[in-house]
Amino acid sequence: MATRDQDVTQGGGAGPGVLVREGSYGTQVIAVEPGGAEFIPLNERHGKPLQLFWTWTSPNMEFATIFVGVLAVAGFGLGFWSAALALALGSAIGGITQGILSMRGPKYGVPQMVLSRLGFGYWGNALPAGLNSVTAGIGWFAVNSVSGAFALNVLTHWPQVLCLLIIIAVQVFVAFFGYNLVHLFERYAFPILTVIFLIASGVILSKAHPGASHHTIPGAFLLTLGASFGYAVGWNPYAADYTRYFKPDANKAAIAWWSGMGLFLSCALLEIVGAAAATVVSASDALGSNPTGAFTGLLAKPLADLTLLAIALGAVSANVLNIYSGALSFTAIGIKLPLSLRRAIVALGFGTIGFFLAWSGLHNAGSDYENFLLIIAYWIAPWLAVYFCDQLLRRNPDETLLFATRRTNWAGPVAMLVGMGISIWLFSNQTKYIGLVPTHVPAVGDLTFEAGFVITAVVYLTWHAIARTGRETTLTA
């Protein structure tokens, strides 16, 4: 790794070099972060691992998290205890992978989707980086904006479109300024969201009927596991984005612990609370046109109003990460944007597109959300397989591999596409498409993300074993 700023060259083209983020940023909060997906100079490094706890807790303190648990009971028909187990398992797997991915940020000083170039090559990495820029900067952005708008609408009775505009304006403002303001926003949102949601969770759990009768659909446990995994793992492609400003000697164990636990605890708690709420309200209300109102209707008026405010704040907390990381992923595709504020400008563009997508989804939240969660798991699991397999083969790669435009590793995109294609064809189980296996054996649920991970890993490792490649650590090896 480069140890001094002068060791890092303004690479470009085919030459081995590391692109350094231009401009001066430091610890400024009300200043627009310059650059895009480049290496963060050592004199700009700051922050501590503990801040990752609230960075990954605050964005999950929102109704989109709760609704995963609602789906498990009201949508898939699981009993409360079975739902709680599936939700906790899916969240735990996502939290573990989040911790592992976060550890590389300080060493390499680049976003997660730039690190992904090790397994995919420079231009092959356009596949996962492009998918993440769309699912994060537009898809997740729209989903969470809708939940925040619902909450604000129930609280104020203002028109839903106006509520949506307010939510989007705040989150785009924070994401536009960048890294330091994002971390600060999550820090101050954390105590507010935690206190309100803990109180509301206690009330909801006290009213739950764990033994309520239910009608479980075939494969419900695995469908719930896939949905909860899809929700948690949706943060994985962002992991190093929020550790790349740390100093290279930052404690790796602390980074993994605080990021993983922040993600796991917040997801598991609120998803289980959502499952509990679904044992009290009817399925039609829980999955109706305003599920946010059905949830807060279980609370006394003062607490319900506070919870609605927290849901709106939580949606903003989630989306400042979604739009920030979505913009970073877009700049990591490799498209040259000469403007010094390229990340900030891309964030504005994603915010605009996300608004119109959210507007169109205001009246069809339930089924669209279920499909979206599963689709995220469909592509992130194969991406993780490539990333972890490459990390297994290439223990300590040189950072110049990340910026070499002529370097290829076609095993990555090929393995990912094969893994996605076969697993979706065989195992997908959602309203838009049911795969071959669940069509004939509905009890298997949805095994797409598990199968996609295994198939991709086998293809990737086999490719490099036959070609005797994949262990190169420098450009000259």
- Residue 374 or residue 144, greater confidence: 144
- Residue 263 or residue 147, greater confidence: 263
pLDDT bin (cut points 50, 70, 90) of residue 303 is very high
Asked if pLDDT for residue 369 goes beyond 70, the answer is no
**244-260 residue pLDDT tens:** 999 999 999 999 999 99
How far is C-alpha 46 from the chain's CA centre? 23
Q: Which of 109-113, 323-327, 364-368 has the highest mean pLDDT?
A: 109-113
Output the CA torsion sign for 453, 54, 238, 171: positive
Give the pLDDT score at 359: 67
- Residue 292 or residue 423, greater confidence: 423
- pTM of the entire predicted model: 0.91
**219-247 residue pLDDT tens:** 999 999 999 998 999 999 999 999 999 99
The span from the CA of 227 to the CA of 221, in Å, is: 10
Beta strand spans in 159-299 (E): none
Percent of the chain with pLDDT over 90: 66
- Residue 125 or residue 331, greater confidence: 125
Asked if pLDDT for residue 269 goes beyond 70, the answer is yes
pLDDT bin (cut points 50, 70, 90) of residue 345 is confident
The span from the CA of 435 to the CA of 30, in Å, is: 49
pLDDT bin (cut points 50, 70, 90) of residue 149 is confident
- Residue 90 or residue 35, greater confidence: 90
Give the pLDDT score at 3: 36
Give the pLDDT score at 368: 62
Query: Residue with structure tokens 């649920």?
Result: 445
Distance between the two ends of the chain, CA-based, in angstroms?
Answer: 16
Question: Three-class SS of residue 15?
Answer: strand
**2-27 residue pLDDT tens:** 333 333 444 333 334 788 988 899 99
Give the pLDDT score at 362: 58
The span from the CA of 15 to the CA of 38, in Å, is: 16
Asked if pLDDT for residue 173 goes beyond 70, the answer is yes
Mean pLDDT is lowest, of 185-189, 191-195, 440-444, for 440-444
Helix (H) or strand (E) holding 431: none
pLDDT bin (cut points 50, 70, 90) of residue 358 is low
pLDDT bin (cut points 50, 70, 90) of residue 363 is low
Give the pLDDT score at 1: 41
Give the pLDDT score at 457: 98
Asked if pLDDT for residue 366 goes beyond 80, the answer is no
Asked if pLDDT for residue 337 goes beyond 80, the answer is no
**69-103 residue pLDDT tens:** 999 999 999 999 999 999 999 999 999 999 999 99
Do 226 and 90 form a contact (C-beta atoms < 8 A)?
yes
Count of CB atoms within 10 A of residue 251's CB?
14
pLDDT bin (cut points 50, 70, 90) of residue 142 is confident
Do 310 and 192 form a contact (C-beta atoms < 8 A)?
yes
Computed over every residue of the chain, the mean pLDDT equals 89
Average pLDDT estimate for 287-309: 89
Contacts of 321 (CB under 8 A, 6+ apart): 55, 59, 182, 186, 235, 238, 242
Give the pLDDT score at 431: 77
pLDDT bin (cut points 50, 70, 90) of residue 151 is confident
Give the pLDDT score at 338: 65
